[in-house]
Each structure stands twice: as structure tokens, then as C-alpha cells.
A and B are shown apart, each in its own frame.
Chain A
Amino acid sequence: SYELTQPPSVSVSPGQTASISCSGDKLGSKYTCWYQLKPGQSPVLVIYQDSRRPSGIPERFSGSNSGNTATLTISGTQAMDEADYYCQAWDSSTGVFGTGTKVTVL
């Protein structure tokens, strides 16, 4: 079955840039989206179709996807961005989530 691998954790200082990778076989040939998940809340879509931002998502969130790796970048990270982040793609009409990355803003 298809797998998406993310680093378990990423630490970033306020105002700096956080980058979260998501690796999967030929992932660049699929659309990838990203979700933010905070404790006690439902997931929030922050990036879809590799690099598009839904309305209401701050411009500091951006995405890219090429080769075997998709990347979510948070520029000028704020304390409110501390959360778990999950990538997601589709393989043979089956939804696949990444392993998740905890972003800590120190």
C-alpha cells in the first residue's frame, strides 16, 4: 500500500521559517494537500493541489511538490501555528495521510 512519510517533529523560532517534508513514491505526479490539526479541534485545510491556499489561510503558508517529496513551508512562523500537520494524497482512489509532523514554536 502507498505510504507518505513525514518527520515526527520540527522546531522553529517565532518569525523564522518552518519546512515540513512529505515523501512518497512518485508523489510529484499526484496532488498533495496539507492539514493543520490542533488539540481538541478538527483538521483545517491549509494547502490543496500542492500549492493553493484556501480562502482565509494566511499567505505565510505555502506548498510545493516535485519528484518524491512535497513540502509545506510556514514563513514568519507564529505561536498560533504550533500544531500537528498532515500531508495527504490519493493513490488508486484511496486516500492516504502522512505520518504527521508536530511543529513546535520555541
Chain B
Amino acid sequence: EVQLVESGGGVVRPGGSLRLSCAASGFTFDDYGMSWVRQAPGKGLEWVSGINWNGGSTGYADSVKGRFTISRDNAKNSLYLQMNSLRAEDTALYHCARDLIPGAVVTDAFDIWGQGTMVTVSS
């Protein structure tokens, strides 16, 4: 079964750091680009960051640029999001998501999503 399972969420104070992980199974992980997408409570979806199949190309939303870092370990079938200098507005459910098309040069859509891990930034 194709599956993505996120972990690493929790409660952190403003200015703190967290590292999210996403464990992939059921497919050839290093064939696909991956992204993180978040949804704040009562709000809509927001793309956070994306990475291509080999980690050679990454992208970030303006709201997290310079504070968050996406990475992957294909040997471990895992995706990560290092979040530093966290703010209250980063409070959200964070999903990892798989690109629809393997090996795509440009991300198209996301066909597999994890259930998400909750990040709460509060003093």
C-alpha cells in the first residue's frame, strides 16, 4: 500500500525549532518529487516547500523562506522539514505529499497525501 506517514509535530514556543519527518512506503521513493503543504486551523491549504527526486532542486513559499529547510534521504525513504524561528502563524497541520508524475521536471499535482502532523507555536 502506498503510504506517507508524518511525525515530529508538537508544541513549541515562538522562536523555537522543530524537525518534521515523512516516512514513505509502497512506492519507489526516489522516483518522485515531494512537498510539504500545511493547513492552519480554520484556514485553507498552503504550499510550504517542495523538493525534486534527488534533492537537487528545492522551493519555498515566501512565508517560510530563510526559516524552513526541506531535505530528503532516499536511502531511508524519508522526507524532512527543518523549521526554525517558528512563529504563531506557523501553527498548522503539516502534510507531506507526493508528486503525481514520477521524474517530473516541474511539479504538477499531488496524488498521495499523508494524514499530517500538528505543529502548535505558542508561548
Contact = CB atoms under 8 A, between A and B. Distances in A.
B27 to A, nearest CB: 15
A98 B113 CA distance: 18
Contacts of A35: 45, 110
B109 A42 contact: no
Contacts of A37: 45
Nearest to A6: B44
Interface string B74-85: 000000000000
B113 A42 contact: yes
28 contacts: A31-B108, A31-B109, A37-B45, A42-B95, A42-B116, A43-B37, A43-B45, A43-B95, A43-B113, A44-B113, A48-B100, A48-B108, A49-B108, A86-B45, A90-B107, A94-B47, A94-B62, A95-B35, A95-B47, A95-B50, A95-B59, A95-B61, A96-B47, A97-B37, A97-B46, A97-B47, A99-B44, A100-B44
Interface residues of A, number: 24
Interface string A4-47: 00000000000000000000000000010101010000111100
A105 to B, nearest CB: 20
Nearest to A96: B47
A31 B50 CA distance: 17
Interface in B96-123: 97, 100, 106-111, 113-116
Interface of A: 1, 31, 33, 35, 37, 42-45, 48-49, 54, 84, 86, 88, 90, 93-100
Contacts of A94: 47, 59, 61-62
Contacts of B115: 42
